[in-house]
């Protein structure tokens, strides 16, 4: 059985690689990288095969995916809708040319019919994958616990703010840590099955943004409140901050996330991930505690 992974140097993909390496021999794993010479030590020294595969170069994808039985396409890290879909389509087309037996795609947990801009490229990719004729599994990965600042008004405890501003409203999110998602994804690939299914990998319970501010207040021993503001105020408050995520185009698009939140798009718990792992999931509070102790660069890392 030959497993080919894309995105193995990223946040989720690195966790998939870590756990897949524990489940199958190194000789069964191929890592596709756009720059093999830049492979991190944990991949370069692992004994797996490394091939060049660049989403912008279809011929390289053919070479990277050759002989794959099970292929993981990790979604391309960009907020540019057309670019993201184009790269995903290139990977799916290459998988079809190479005769890959089963394709796994990392989607997002907002679900079908989502109004969130961040979900639209995923929905387009899911649709293309369904009509491709390939045996596939869509993995709607839950919202990372580690990404909570992005959903909580770019919250940074170092700034000392006593108020968090978000547009449109609040709602529950089934937070789940990235390592649990990575391990679950790896185990699903090895386990097999789930042909032509869409799976939701969620946390074990939901917490609202207001719940988060209460937990943060208790941990920091100062009151942090949640305030629902207009979209214009949200954009104005964050414009020019957070690097490229401080641009109006990004902020307007990201504001639609909260419309989805109000609709309950993330307020869904599925027991599948816990069942696949055979253990309890890491509680959100543990991740929060770790991050409040060391939070530098969180917004920049997860605002993709």
Q: Quick one: 82 and 210 in the same domain?
A: no
- Return the pLDDT at 297: 44
Q: Quick one: 159 and 223 in the same domain?
A: yes
Q: Quick one: 85 and 71 in the same domain?
A: yes
- Return the pLDDT at 103: 99
Counted domains in the chain: 2
Q: Quick one: 12 and 93 in the same domain?
A: yes
Specify if 194 maps to a domain: yes
Q: Quick one: 134 and 156 in the same domain?
A: no
Specify if 273 maps to a domain: no
Which CATH number belongs to the domain containing residue 114 in this structure?
3.40.50.720
pLDDT in tens, 52-93: 999 999 999 999 999 999 999 999 988 889 999 999 999 999
Q: Quick one: 40 and 56 in the same domain?
A: yes
Q: Quick one: 151 and 132 in the same domain?
A: no
CA distance 146 to 65: 31
φ/ψ bin of 4: left (φ > 0), alpha (ψ from -120 to 50), beta (otherwise): beta
Q: Quick one: 134 and 108 in the same domain?
A: yes
User: Domain range holding 82?
Assistant: 3-142+176-201
pLDDT tier for residue 295 given thresholds of 50, 70 and 90: low
pLDDT tier for residue 296 given thresholds of 50, 70 and 90: very low
Specify if 274 maps to a domain: no
Read off the pTM. 0.94
Tell me which of 239 and 94 has the higher pLDDT.
94
Which CATH number belongs to the domain containing residue 242 in this structure?
3.90.25.10
Specify if 64 maps to a domain: yes
Q: Quick one: 193 and 255 in the same domain?
A: no
pLDDT in tens, 233-258: 999 999 988 766 778 999 999 999 99
């Amino acid at each position: 059985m030959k497993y080919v992974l894309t995105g193995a140097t990223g946040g989720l993909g690195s966790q998939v690689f870590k756990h897949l390496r524990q489940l199958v021999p190194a000789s069964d794993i191929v890592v596709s990288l756009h720059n093999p010479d830049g492979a991190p030590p944990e991949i370069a020294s692992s004994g797996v095969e490394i091939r060049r595969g660049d989403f912008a170069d279809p011929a390289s994808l053919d070479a990277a995916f050759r002989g794959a039985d099970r292929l993981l396409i990790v979604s391309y890290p960009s907020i540019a809708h057309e670019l993201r879909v184009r790269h995903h389509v290139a990977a799916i087309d290459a998988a079809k040319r190479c005769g890959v037996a089963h394709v796994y795609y990392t989607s997002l947990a907002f679900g079908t019919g989502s109004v969130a801009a961040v979900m639209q490229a995923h929905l387009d990719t899911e649709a293309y994958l369904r009509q491709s004729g390939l045996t596939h599994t869509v993995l709607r990965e839950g919202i990372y616990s580690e990404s909570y600042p992005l959903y909580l008004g770019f919250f940074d405890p170092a700034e000392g703010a006593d108020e968090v501003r978000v547009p449109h409203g609040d709602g529950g999110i089934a937070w789940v840590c990235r390592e649990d998602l990575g391990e679950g994804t790896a185990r699903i690939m090895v386990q097999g099955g789930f042909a032509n299914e869409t799976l939701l990998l969620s946390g074990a319970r939901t917490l609202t943004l207001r719940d988060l501010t209460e937990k943060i207040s208790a941990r920091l021993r100062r009151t942090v409140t949640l305030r629902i503001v207009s979209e214009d105020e949200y954009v104005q408050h964050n414009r020019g901050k957070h690097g490229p995520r401080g641009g109006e185009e990004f902020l307007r698009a990201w504001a639609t996330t909260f419309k989805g939140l109000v609709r309950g798009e993330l307020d869904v718990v599925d027991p599948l991930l816990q069942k696949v792992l055979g253990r309890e999931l890491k509680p959100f509070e543990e991740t929060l505690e770790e991050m409040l102790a060391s939070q530098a660069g969180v917004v920049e890392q997860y605002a993709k």
